[in-house]
Structure 1
Amino acid sequence: MYKGDNYKKKFHEISNAWNQRINDNILVLSQENTRPIEEHLQVIPSELEIVKQDFKKWSSELGKKIEKLEEEKIQLGLDADVQKLKIDYKKLRLSMRTAVLGKTSEQWH
């Protein structure tokens, strides 16, 4: 079996058969089925992660609304304080006028 001219031919055929068998076990990617590496690495968020993101967004929006309401509350408080000061000022002017009218001309000099 391993003698003569036929030996080289048989050896070549057997070698090619083994190479073919080894190469058949290797996957070859076709261009049609390939996807970019970014798609393979893309992480799909879980339902819990989506809920967390929605909660953070909602919480942030509520925080902004609370800050705005607190500013409005402070502004309304300041407006109320200004109104109270105006009333107190009017009362003070009225009491000063009353006090001045009660003085005699001698007390002015």
Structure 2
Amino acid sequence: MRLGLDVDIHKLEAEKLRKWKNKAEEDLDSLKTDYKKLRLSIRTAGLGKTSEQWR
């Protein structure tokens, strides 16, 4: 009986970790996309120039 409960608890914990991992991966992908858009905006606006290029 106790062994069955332990297995159920481990299954629930594993599922929770899988969900957390998937959410973290989605957040990371979103951050990467936002970063790419930001870099493109900076490049398009010309704000990424060095002080030498501004002269």
TM-score by length of 2: 0.77
Structure 2 residue runs without a partner (length 5+): 48-52
The letter for the 2-side match of 1:85 is: L
For structure 1, the residue ranges without an aligned partner over 5 or more in a row are 1-53, 102-106
Q: Work out the number of aligned pairs and report it.
A: 50
2:6 corresponds to which residue? 60
What are the equivalent positions in structure 2 for 1:14-93 lying under 5 Å apart?
54=1, 56-93=2-39
Q: Percent identity?
A: 40
Q: CA deviation at 1:78?
A: 1.0
Consecutive aligned runs of 4 or more in structure 1 exceeding 4 Å deviation? none
Name the structure where helix makes up a greater proportion of residues. Answer: 2
Distance 1:99 1:59 in 2: 60
Q: Report 1 or 2 for greater relative contact order, CA contacts < 8 Å, sequence distance ≥ 6.
A: 2
Aligned Cα root-mean-square deviation (Å): 1.8
